Structure 1
Amino acid sequence: MNATSLAQALQAYRAAAPEKLAFLEPRGLVNTGNMCYMNSVLQVLIFCIPFYDFLDQVGKKAAHSFKSETPLVDAMVMFMREFKALETAASAEQLRKRIKPEVYEKYGEPFTPEFVYDAIRTLPRFASMRRGHQQDAQEFLGFLLEGLHDECARVISQAPASTASTAPNSSLPSPTIANVGEGADDWLEVGRRQRPAVTRSSGHSHTQTPITKIFGGQLRSELRVPGNKNSVTLEPYQPLQLDIGSPEVRNIIDALRGLTRPEVIHGDFDSPHGKDVRATKQVFIESVPPVLILHLKRFQFDAEGYGTVKIWKKVGYPLEFEFPREVLSRQTRNTMLSENSGAPRYRLIAVVYHHGKNASGGHYTVDVRRQDGREWIRIDDTVIRRVRDEHVAEAGAEEDAGKTDARKDVPGAASGNRFLGMNDEDTGDDDGWKQAAGGKKWSSVVNGATPTNGHKPKPQPKDSIKDNKVAYLLFYQRI
């Protein structure tokens, strides 16, 4: 790609609603040997409307070159072009009016995104990811987004001064008070009751790219030490890591609230009150992105010698949710008040599932919401089928094929979905959580066993991979 035209395209990108929505023809991705972790992430990204729009804009405004300085961006543009638009419209509502029923059943031939693998193979960041070895989808997603961001940032920074910009990410708030603090990235901020706080930005690239515009949010970590000014650190996130191990965490709202639970720390903080003082650290969400990625931390190291183990527990997630106000920073809540806007609202657009007993093995599949805003499809490498949104919210419980849309084995597909044909019991709704239209609004499937409702659960076969299916990565788009 020509560096100047590419820089201009990257700078011009805005993570807003695209001029036209493309209703894509789904295509399966051939698993050439433990590549399901990569395939699942690539499917999510291509069906993520702002990310597809980014690739589309870059592809139209900058010419492709195999010897470019942006091999990942080029490979993803090529990947995007492998998916045919069956219909286009200015909005999801118009798409739904234009799409004929039979169009929903159109699926393209599966293919192997070899050019994406080739681009990844040459980059040092991906050196630990070897073909044919079991890998982690969350880790790959992080590497891929970081790699794309780095390429975009490098092109922008090398462009002529009239093109390049080092403005902070527009989704990140500016400092409240602009007095310079101790360092170049420090400033003095006036907080509650006019208390000063030294605020600094940490781990944040100041070059604005489409990746930070789409997926980048910011956390605010406040350290309160008796006798000292409050210390505030602003840190970027993508994705937002959620601890789910605590017994109090039953759904993602609980996990978000747990993120901001105050932590007491004892130590020497150079306080006038002495060497051993009781400090408090608390994390808040300072800003949220157009596309929010939630990583449910299901794999943890076991100190008793079992290595990395998988957390089996019930964790509900809604099809739509509003951020609890208490997890947002005071500055963000004040902005909401001044602008008379409500808390940020999000709609679920994709779920990546992990199948298997532990982190060292298993399989990944994905559910994605199509561009019409209503239709969902389930993708297991080369096997694609339609599913209802309530079954997505039930952590991917398979329903009997006779009751809903039959599965679609894409022409040329491999042996088929080994998870089909295994029926789950009806889990009921023992928690009384809110119902979505046509089904449950929250996931109510226990990962590994169904809710007992006071009855002794049936023993589950130990080798059943499907019974070990669990939602691992959640993707939400801001409403």
Structure 2
Amino acid sequence: MDLPAGLTNLGNTCYMNATVQCLHAVPELRAALDKYRVDNDDAGSMSSAMTSAMKFLFKQMERGSTVTPIILLQTLHRASPQFSQVGENGTYRQQDANECWSELLKMLQQKIPAFNDKANEGNNVKKYNSFIEQYFGGSFEVKMSCTEAEDEEPTTARENFLQLSCFISTEVKYMHSGLKSKMKEQLVKRSETLGRDANYIRTSLISRLPAYLTIQFVRFQYKGKEGINAKVLKDIKFPLEFDAFELCTPELQNKLCPMRAKFKEAEDKNLESNIKAIATEDKSSTTEMGKDVETEDYSFENDPGSNNSGFYTLQAVLTHKGRSSSSGHYVGWVKHTGDIWFKFDDDVVTSVTTEDILRLSGGGDWHCAYVLLYGPKLLKKQCN
């Protein structure tokens, strides 16, 4: 098996290497960067330099041998000086990989244009300013209700996100419950109706699902005495396939139903054909793996870059091993095909299995999932 390119550690830069490997797992991002051209009027901006550095690095990685990401690192240091901090021994200090992830996306968001299909321009197609907003960005519908004044009209607002947070508490054992725990919360704020502070319930439901859903496990808590972001080692199970339906608004749920029905129909057909194949020992009738097949569109026709089913497949995992975000070691794990994944430990790349990925849920000093990247679950087109 040919192994993909690893990235050289330039002195505690595993946080950046792991982030880059996870983002490289998105084919649409690779294609968008490949098309990117520097605007001469903006060639000197940091966001332009960062986007060009990412494009150059992705191109180098396609060659399949170890790459030294010095240009991206230097650009990151200029754009965000906090990443260039040096320790007492003269080497770069370890940094928080999720902060690096957010910074890279913020820079790319400013420069990579959205994909707008000119053929559908007049068909109420949603317009976006950037590719990142289009393919990585979702939105919440946030409702605020006062529990002490029934006659006070609830307020509704829209909030955009580039990642969801999975909060870890004593009760949380699964990613899904960690996500839900903060989608309905109580808070105190001033009520104009009552003329005083009052109790409110803040309910957040997803009104737009992106094609690529990023989920951060809130594993680090600041401890003032030690002055560090201490790690929560608790075991939190995460799924290889994630269904976001329950987290969505009723309006979005209704829109997701047609594609979900197609998935159900396809699963029923596959089950039936596999049962027949087993009964007749006809191996050619079972699902063909590893071959290129035509798939259904995973986005709504009027919203390219969205997810039209609510179904996701885990594409990449960024893990941390250690006791604080500013120490330890970060590694990227990326899905290849079937049961095979690649482990990117800087310049050392090895193949692992799905079983190894499921062991990344935490609970000890082994690698713990910190950031998960889910991509759209693809549906094979059915033959008529």
Name the TM tier (shorter chain): 0.7 to 0.9
Rounded Cα–Cα distance in structure 2 between residues aligned with 1:360 and 1:122:
20
Give ranges in structure 1 of 5+ residues lacking alignment: 1-22, 86-107, 157-161, 171-205, 396-442, 449-466
Which residue of structure 2 lines up, in the alignment, with residue 359 of structure 1? 325
Q: Which amino acid aligns with 1:332?
A: L
Rounded Cα–Cα distance in structure 1 between residues aligned with 2:260 and 2:10:
52
Q: Is the Cα–Cα contact under 8 Å of residues 447 and 469 in structure 1 kept in the other structure?
A: no
Q: Which amino acid aligns with 1:133?
A: R
Equivalent residue of 1:55, what SS?
helix
Of 340-349 and 221-230, more deviation after overlay is shown by: 340-349
Alignment partner of 1:329 is 2:249? yes
Q: 1:383 aligns with which of 344, 348, 355?
A: 348
Rounded Cα–Cα distance in structure 2 between residues aligned with 1:306 and 1:129:
18
Which residue of structure 1 lines up, in the alignment, with residue 363 of structure 2? 447
Which residue of structure 1 lines up, in the alignment, with residue 136 of structure 2? 215
Equivalent residue of 1:241, what SS?
strand
Q: Is the Cα–Cα contact under 8 Å of residues 145 and 154 in structure 2 kept in the other structure?
A: yes
Q: Which amino acid aligns with 1:351?
A: V
Equivalent residue of 2:30, what SS?
helix
Evaluate the alpha carbon distance shift between residue 220 and residue 304 of structure 1 in structure 2; reply closer, same or farther with a 3 A threshold: farther
Q: Is the Cα–Cα contact under 8 Å of residues 24 and 83 in structure 1 kept in the other structure?
A: no
Shift of 1:294: 0.5
Which residue of structure 1 lines up, in the alignment, with residue 162 of structure 2? 238
Equivalent residue of 1:316, what SS?
coil
Evaluate the alpha carbon distance shift between residue 68 and residue 25 of structure 1 in structure 2; reply closer, same or farther with a 3 A threshold: farther
Shift of 1:150: 1.7
1:110-156 deviation digits (Å, cap 9, x = unpaired)? 22111212322332xx1211161110100001011001112346xx9
Alignment partner of 1:55 is 2:33? yes
1:373-400 deviation digits (Å, cap 9, x = unpaired)? 55311111111111011211221xxxxx
Which residue of structure 1 lines up, in the alignment, with residue 7 of structure 2? 29
Equivalent residue of 1:385, what SS?
strand
Q: 1:43 aligns with which of 21, 24, 33?
A: 21
RCO higher in structure (CA 8 A, sep ≥6) = 2
Evaluate the alpha carbon distance shift between residue 231 and residue 339 of structure 1 in structure 2; reply closer, same or farther with a 3 A threshold: farther
Superposed, 1:14-163 pairs within 5 Å as 26-58=4-36, 62=37, 67=43, 69=45, 70-84=48-62, 108-123=64-79, 126-130=80-84, 132-152=92-112
Superposed, 1:418-437 pairs within 5 Å as none
Q: Is the Cα–Cα contact under 8 Å of residues 3 and 349 in structure 2 kept in the other structure?
A: no
1:46-65 deviation digits (Å, cap 9, x = unpaired)? 2222211212333xxx4798
Rounded Cα–Cα distance in structure 1 between residues aligned with 2:112 and 2:347:
31
Shift of 1:290: 0.7
Q: Which amino acid aligns with 1:45?
A: L
Q: Is the Cα–Cα contact under 8 Å of residues 24 and 84 in structure 1 kept in the other structure?
A: no
Evaluate the alpha carbon distance shift between residue 25 and residue 51 of structure 1 in structure 2; reply closer, same or farther with a 3 A threshold: farther
Q: Is the Cα–Cα contact under 8 Å of residues 357 and 468 in structure 1 kept in the other structure?
A: no
Q: Is the Cα–Cα contact under 8 Å of residues 220 and 233 in structure 1 kept in the other structure?
A: yes
* Structure with the larger helix share: 2
1:333-389 deviation digits (Å, cap 9, x = unpaired)? 24335887685011011111101112231110111112x455311111111111011
Q: Is the Cα–Cα contact under 8 Å of residues 259 and 284 in structure 1 kept in the other structure?
A: no
Rounded Cα–Cα distance in structure 1 between residues aligned with 2:189 and 2:75:
47
Evaluate the alpha carbon distance shift between residue 368 and residue 337 of structure 1 in structure 2; reply closer, same or farther with a 3 A threshold: closer
Shift of 1:277: 3.5
Rounded Cα–Cα distance in structure 1 between residues aligned with 2:204 and 2:2:
39
Rounded Cα–Cα distance in structure 1 between residues aligned with 2:108 and 2:18:
18
Q: Is the Cα–Cα contact under 8 Å of residues 144 and 201 in structure 2 kept in the other structure?
A: yes
Alignment partner of 1:249 is 2:172? yes
Rounded Cα–Cα distance in structure 2 between residues aligned with 1:120 and 1:267:
39
Equivalent residue of 2:66, what SS?
strand
Q: Which amino acid aligns with 2:137?
A: G
Evaluate the alpha carbon distance shift between residue 118 and residue 369 of structure 1 in structure 2; reply closer, same or farther with a 3 A threshold: same
Give ranges in structure 2 of 5+ residues lacking alignment: 86-91, 264-308, 378-384
Q: Which amino acid aligns with 1:231?
A: T
Superposed, 1:340-359 pairs within 5 Å as 344-359=310-325
Evaluate the alpha carbon distance shift between residue 374 and residue 208 of structure 1 in structure 2; reply closer, same or farther with a 3 A threshold: farther
Q: Is the Cα–Cα contact under 8 Å of residues 224 and 279 in structure 1 kept in the other structure?
A: yes
C-alpha RMSD over aligned residues? 3.0
Q: Is the Cα–Cα contact under 8 Å of residues 169 and 212 in structure 1 kept in the other structure?
A: no
Q: Is the Cα–Cα contact under 8 Å of residues 64 and 74 in structure 1 kept in the other structure?
A: no
Equivalent residue of 1:118, what SS?
helix
Q: Is the Cα–Cα contact under 8 Å of residues 25 and 83 in structure 1 kept in the other structure?
A: no
Alignment partner of 1:269 is 2:186? no
Rounded Cα–Cα distance in structure 1 between residues aligned with 2:125 and 2:52:
23
Superposed, 1:166-181 pairs within 5 Å as 170=126
Aligned residues: 312
Rounded Cα–Cα distance in structure 1 between residues aligned with 2:258 and 2:355:
37
Which residue of structure 2 lines up, in the alignment, with residue 95 of structure 1? none
Evaluate the alpha carbon distance shift between residue 339 and residue 350 of structure 1 in structure 2; reply closer, same or farther with a 3 A threshold: closer
Shift of 1:477: 0.2
Paired-residue identity, %: 25
Q: Is the Cα–Cα contact under 8 Å of residues 165 and 179 in structure 2 kept in the other structure?
A: no
Of 210-219 and 135-144, more deviation after overlay is shown by: 210-219
Rounded Cα–Cα distance in structure 1 between residues aligned with 2:371 and 2:233:
15
Q: Is the Cα–Cα contact under 8 Å of residues 29 and 112 in structure 1 kept in the other structure?
A: yes
Q: Which amino acid aligns with 2:14?
A: C
Q: Which amino acid aligns with 2:170?
A: P
Q: Which amino acid aligns with 1:382?
A: D
Q: Is the Cα–Cα contact under 8 Å of residues 220 and 229 in structure 2 kept in the other structure?
A: yes
Which residue of structure 2 lines up, in the alignment, with residue 159 of structure 1? none
Q: Is the Cα–Cα contact under 8 Å of residues 61 and 67 in structure 2 kept in the other structure?
A: no
Shift of 1:32: 1.3
Evaluate the alpha carbon distance shift between residue 228 and residue 390 of structure 1 in structure 2; reply closer, same or farther with a 3 A threshold: same
Which residue of structure 2 lines up, in the alignment, with residue 455 of structure 1? none
